[in-house]
Amino acid sequence: MIEPTNYIPNIPETDKMRVVIVGAGFAGLKLLGKIGCDGFQIVLLDRNNFHQFQPLLYQVATSGLEPTAISFPIRKILQNEKDIHFRVAELTEIQSDKNEISTSIGKLKYDFLILSIGANTNFFGQHNIEKYAYSMKTASDAILIRNTMLENFELALLDTEPEEIGKYLNVVLVGGGPTGVELAGALAEMKRFIFPKDYPELDISKMRIILYEASDKLLASMTGKASQKSKQYLEKLGVEVYVGTRVLDYNGTLLETSDGESVPSKTVIWAAGVQANPVAGLKKEVFGRGKRILVDQFNCISGYENIFAIGDLSLMETKNNPNGYPQVAQVAIQQAKQLADNIHRLKAGTPLKPFQYKNKGAMATIGRNLAVADLPYAKLSGFIAWVMWSFVHLFTIMGVKNRLFIFLNWSWGYFTYDQSLRVLIRPKAPHPKIK
C-alpha cells in the first residue's frame, strides 16, 4: 500500500480543473454522469469497486436476489471515459487550507471537492445492541443476515427444548421505516410458503416475526393512510407489530423493550435510524443533526468555498424542512444534478442556481401484491401500488443484465412461491502467509 504521506500516483497533472468526488452511491454516480469531462479532470474515490442498489438489500437478506444482481462494477461505467480516474480508497482527512485530501492510498489535490459518502447505521449509543444486533446497509450485511437466519434454522433442528428452539426461529426487527417494513413482509412470506417445506421437522407456526417502532406509526415519512395500510398488511401476514415501543437492550439472546416485554431471539435486525459517515478535517460547527454536514442552498459546506456535500451526508435546512431533506435516493439524485450544473457555473463565473427539491413521492412494498405509494397526484395501496413499486425499482437498477436477472427472479418467485437462493456461504479464512 502507498504511504499516506505520498500523492496518489498515475493520476496525470493537467491544466483542467480537478473535481474530486468521494463516494459512488446514488449522488456520486449521478453527479459523475451529469458533470461531464468538458474542462474538468474528475477523480472518483470509493471504498468499493461497485455501486450497490440499497433499496433491494432486504431481498438479498431474504434469499430473493443474489448480491451481484443489485451491484454494478464502477469500472464498467467508466470504460469509455478518458478524463475520469477511479481509485478504491477511503477518505481519511481534509486539509482545506491546502486544497488537499488524505486517503488510505495517498494524498490528492483538488479544485472542487464533493463529498457523497452517505450514511451508516445509528445505534443511538446503545452499545449492546451495536455489538449483538445486525444492521443492513451493505451487501455484506445482507449476506450475513441471510447466513445467520439459515444457520439458526439448521441449529434449531438440533435442539429439543422449545424455549431454545424459539431463540433460533424468532426474528426481531427494530425500526418501522421502509427497510423494517419490507424486510418484515418478506420474512412473513418465507414463513408462510418456504420454511414449512424446507424444515418439515420444525413447527414453523411457533416462529415469531416481530417489528418494533419507537414512534406512534410505521413509515413515519409517509401519510397516515400509508402507515395504517402497511400495519394492516403486516398483521394480515402474521407479523407482530408494536408502535410506540422502544427497544432498551439486547444481549445476543434476549431483547428487552420499554413495555416490559422480554423476547428470546438470536436474530435482531436494527433498522431504526442512520447517521452520516464521519468526515475528519472540517470545522466542528459544520456538523448538525445526525452528524450530517450543514450546507447552503447550493450544497456548499458552510465556511468553505469549494467543498460540497450531497445526498444523505448533507443537511440543508430550509423554512419548510428545518431538519433537512429526507435521506432518500431522490434527494441525492436531484442534488447531484443541480450541483453538476453549478460546478460549470462556478467555472464560468456565472450566478449559481439554488437547489429546490421536487418530491416525486414515496413507496414501500409489504409483500406479494401488497404495497403503499404516496404520489403527488394520488395515494395508492394494494396491487396497483405493488406493480408501480416493482416497475420503478426494476428500471432504476443499473445495467440491462441486472434488470433481466431481477425480473426473472421476481417472476420465478411470484409464480412458484419459492426463493431459490437459500444457500449458506461462509467465507473461508485464508491460510497464514509463510514468511
- Whether pLDDT at 71 is above 50: yes
The neighbour count for residue 202, using CB atoms within 10 Å, is 17
Residue 134 and residue 268 in one domain: yes
Residue 219 and residue 259 in one domain: yes
State mean pLDDT over 91-104. 95
Element housing 316 (H / E): none
Q: Exposed (0-12), middle (13-18) or buried (19+): which is 356, by Cβ within 10 Å?
A: exposed
Task: Quickly state the pLDDT bin for 4 (edges 50, 70, 90).
Answer: very low
Closest CA to 166 of 234, 267, 237, 242: 267
Q: What per-residue confidence (pLDDT) applies to 3? A: 46
Residue 231 and residue 312 in one domain: no
Mean pLDDT for the chain? Answer: 91
State mean pLDDT over 391-397. 89
Locate cell 438479498: which residue? 60
CATH number of domain containing 310: 3.50.50.60
Dump pLDDT digits (tens) for 332-344: 999 999 999 999 9
Q: Find the domain containing 34 and state its range.
A: 17-47+89-121+275-348
Q: 3-state DSSP: the chain helix, strand, coil percent, rounded to 5?
A: 35, 25, 40
φ, ψ (nearest 5 deg) of residue 155: -70, -30
Note if 182 is an active site residue: yes
Dump pLDDT digits (tens) for 32-65: 989 877 789 999 999 999 999 999 999 999 998 9
Residue 224 and residue 337 in one domain: no
Among the listed ranges 26-40, 115-129, 173-187, 278-292, which one has the minimum average pLDDT value? 26-40
Dump pLDDT digits (tens) for 216-260: 999 998 999 999 999 999 999 999 999 999 999 999 999 999 999
State mean pLDDT over 308-319. 93
Residue 137 and residue 260 in one domain: yes
Residue 150 and residue 185 in one domain: yes
Among residues 272, 304, 319, the one where a domain terminates is: 272
Q: Mapping DSSP to helix (H, G, I), strand (E, B) and coil, where does residue 93 land?
A: strand
Residue 205 and residue 151 in one domain: yes
Q: Judge whether 150 lies within some domain.
A: yes
Q: Judge whether 389 lies within some domain.
A: no
Dump pLDDT digits (tens) for 161-195: 988 999 999 999 999 999 999 999 999 999 999 99
Q: Mapping DSSP to helix (H, G, I), strand (E, B) and coil, where does residue 327 land?
A: coil
pTM: predicted TM-score of the whole model, two decimal places: 0.90
Q: Judge whether 22 lies within some domain.
A: yes
- Whether pLDDT at 434 is above 80: no
Q: What per-residue confidence (pLDDT) applies to 157? A: 95
Among residues 298, 324, 348, the one where a domain terminates is: 348
Q: Judge whether 424 lies within some domain.
A: no
Q: Judge whether 23 lies within some domain.
A: yes
C-alpha cell of residue 285: 460547527
Q: Judge whether 315 lies within some domain.
A: yes
Residue 262 and residue 335 in one domain: no
Q: Do strands 314-315 and 293-294 pair parallel, antiparallel, or not at all (unpaired)?
A: parallel
Closest CA to 122 of 295, 289, 315: 289
Annotated catalytic residue, options 66, 130, 164, 182? 182
CATH number of domain containing 185: 3.50.50.100
Q: What per-residue confidence (pLDDT) applies to 194? A: 93
Q: Judge whether 209 lies within some domain.
A: yes
Residue 249 and residue 311 in one domain: no
Number of compact structural domains in the chain? 2
Q: Do strands 50-52 and 40-46 pair parallel, antiparallel, or not at all (unpaired)?
A: unpaired
Residue 139 and residue 230 in one domain: yes
Among residues 299, 331, 348, the one where a domain terminates is: 348
Query: Who contacts 405 (Cβ-Cβ below 8 Å, separation ≥6)?
Result: 65, 66, 69
> How far does Cα 414 stand from its chain's mean position?
25
Residue 186 and residue 279 in one domain: no
Q: Judge whether 163 lies within some domain.
A: yes
Q: Mapping DSSP to helix (H, G, I), strand (E, B) and coil, where does residue 269 land?
A: strand
> How far apart are alpha carbons 45 and 422 in whole angstroms?
34
Beta-bridge partner residues of 293: 287, 314
Locate cell 427497510: which residue? 179
Residue 319 and residue 257 in one domain: no
